[in-house]
Amino acid sequence: MSFSAIINSFKGVDSFNTFSLPYKKLIIGFTIFNFLFERYVSFRQYKLLQKKDKKLPKVLEGKIDTKKFEESDAYGLAKSKFEMFSSTLGVVLSIATLLIQPFVWNYSVFYGDKILSFILRREYHMNLIASNIAFFILFTLISTLTSFPLSYYQHFVLEEKFGFNKMTKKLFFTDLIKTNLLVFVLASPIIYLLGWILKKCTDNFIFYIWLFVLFLQVTMFLLNDLVIQPMFNKFTPLDNQELKDKIDALAKECGFPLSKIFMVDGSKRSSHSNAYFTGLPFMKKKIVIFDTLIKDSSVDEVVAVLGHEIGHWKMNHITKMLIFSQIHFAVFFKLFESVYKNESLFSNLGFIIDRSSLKTTATLPGSNIAVINDYPFLIGLILFSQLIQPTDTLMSFCLNLFSRHNEYEADKYAADLGKGEKLKTALISLQVANLSTISVDSLFSMYHYSHPTLPERLEAIDKHIIASEKKEN
Ligand SMILES: [Zn+2]
């Protein structure tokens, strides 16, 4: 198929707007199918972890003791059981929320109108965009309330049992409140702009949406770096001079545009450890190291981990991911454009479009049918995301495959810097410190893991070192 034929077939999708299908049944069907597939994948992992006579992989023999091996698999088993419970609850909740969306819409618009009328001291009816924002706020509050008991259990029972939880209850609740406030503050203007683009830019919709998404990505990146992260964690300039000098030397050797090195108090919440760099393309980069990583590893090991991180930069992995996500967004919104005015999609889920109505809902709270005078685009977006769930499943396989490939490349890069051996011991101590599961089922890892497993990485590094030595001789 030629390029123009692809474009033309895309233009044809406009006819989806009149497409009538049993949407409610389809969405519920996809949700259940996804759930069953994920349960099958998790069950394979569960079975593997339950086996009594598991053996430590050869590459790890003598490097991890049996006690740690058993402990990390016990942690994996506990996580697996928790996931079985939480995902079952999750699927029930997600179907329930799908079915009560008109109900939530009616409530949010009715009370949104009332609150604004009270503030403005005159009768006020929200327009479509404001109604969508009100719906979003109420919907988010409901999902926070239903999901927080699970998150509480995860931190204070599961993670606590294995000694990872460092969070106090006070911190947990302030995090929860901060996160929700942040979501409202950030999402409201985003919903506003999306509604505005949908209304004004009907001709070149995809171009404007793409511009909008790009703008969002850059803004969110800057906000995250400068405002959001510091709201939750403390970043202090690295004070370990030896480590600092070695990182500086490494950056110079690789041509990495390093600006500053920070240590972050990851230990405030958990003893899981990590390191990463941030910075816009073509700009100076900041390196962030978790205090837990510095505590658990030697200076040379931390440097080797950063060699791996610089490898990601050198191989343009972030730029590649960015291009990939741009294409993903463009396709997503192109298809969305073709369904968000599909009347039968909305009516199937209890939203009746009646242009003669003056308000954004003509229905009183308590009713599970919402009569609206225009398309509720946010609900369209939610329904559309649920309709394309099967492609998401496929997408996570592809993304993980790509990401794993990048991890191997970054490991090789660090090995070429002569840091292969240190990287190996660093990865082993990270594995021990994080109690990452050692026994992993192949399908489970393909679906869930963005990184190869530890034995896979160690073997690949060994192979690469041997191959490079042969080349040199
Ligand atoms: Zn990596």
Tens of pLDDT along 417-464?
Answer: 999 999 999 999 888 877 778 888 889 988 988 899 988 999 999 999
Q: For 276-322, give the DSSP string.
A: EEE--TTS-EEEEEEHHHHHHS-HHHHHHHHHHHHHHHHTTHHHHHH
In a domain, 71, yes or no: yes
- What are the pLDDT digits (tens) for 116-140? 999 999 988 888 899 999 999 999 9
Which residues contribute to the annotated binding site? 308, 312, 407
Q: What are phi and psi of 181, to 5 degrees?
A: -60, -45
Q: Which residue is catalytic, options 73, 296, 411, 441? A: 411
Tokens for 169, please give them: 């209850």
Which residues define the annotated binding site for Zn(2+)?
308, 312, 407
Rounded to whole angstroms, the Cα distance separating 256 from 451 reads: 23
Give a yes or no: residue 11 inside a domain: no
Distance (Å, whole) CA 96 – CA 351: 16
* Closest by CA position to 60, among listed 450, 427, 418: 427
Look up the domain containing 35 and give its range.
22-472
Q: Which of 119-123, 313-317, 338-342 has the lowest mean pLDDT?
A: 338-342
CA–centroid distance, 438 to ligand 1, in Å, is 18
Main-chain dihedrals φ then ψ at residue 51, nearest 5 degrees = -55, 140
Q: How many domains does the chain have?
A: 1
User: Would you say residue 1 has pLDDT above 60?
Assistant: no
Q: Could you tell me the two tokens for 173?
A: 């609740």
Q: How far is the CA of 404 from the centre of ligand 1 (A)?
A: 9
Give tens-digit pLDDT for 182-224: 889 989 999 998 888 888 877 777 788 888 888 888 888 888 8
The pLDDT value recorded for residue 473 is: 76
Exactly one of 309, 337, 441, 456 is catalytic; name it: 309
Residue 273 lies in a domain: yes
Q: Establish if 3 belongs to a structural domain.
A: no
Q: Would you say residue 15 lies in a domain?
A: no
Contact 191, 378 (CB under 8 A): yes
* Cα-to-centroid distance, 276 and ligand 1 (Å): 9
Q: How far apart are CA 62 and CA 64, in angstroms?
A: 6
Question: Going by C-beta distance under 8 Å and a sequence separation of 6 or more, which residues neighbour residue 68?
Answer: 432, 435
pLDDT digits (tens, 9 = 90+) for 9-18: 444 455 456 6
Whole-number pLDDT of residue 45: 92
- What is the distance in A from the centroid of ligand 1 to the CA of 417? 16
- 5 within a domain of the structure (yes/no): no
Q: Burial, 183: exposed, middle or buried (Cβ in 10 Å; 0-12, 13-18, 19+)? A: middle
The answer as to whether 12 is a domain residue is no
Residue 74 domain-assigned (yes or no): yes
**Residue 262 φ then ψ, to 5°:** -120, 155
Distance 402 CA to ligand 1 centre (A): 12
pLDDT band for position 326 (cuts 50, 70, 90): confident
User: Percent of the chain having pLDDT more than 90?
Assistant: 40
Residue 326 backbone zone (phi > 0: left; psi -120 to 50: alpha; other: beta)? alpha
User: What single string gives the DSSP state of each residue in 217-255?
Assistant: HHHHHHHIIIIIHHHHS-EEE---HHHHHHHHHHHHHHT
Q: Is-catalytic flag, 309?
A: yes
User: 229 alpha carbon to ligand 1 midpoint, in Å?
Assistant: 20
Cα 394 to averaged position of ligand 1 atoms, centre (Å) = 22
Q: Please check whether residue 360 is in contact with residue 131, taking contact to mean a CB–CB distance below 8 angstroms.
A: yes
Asked if residue 272 has pLDDT above 70, the reply is no
Whether the predicted pLDDT of 261 surpasses 70: yes
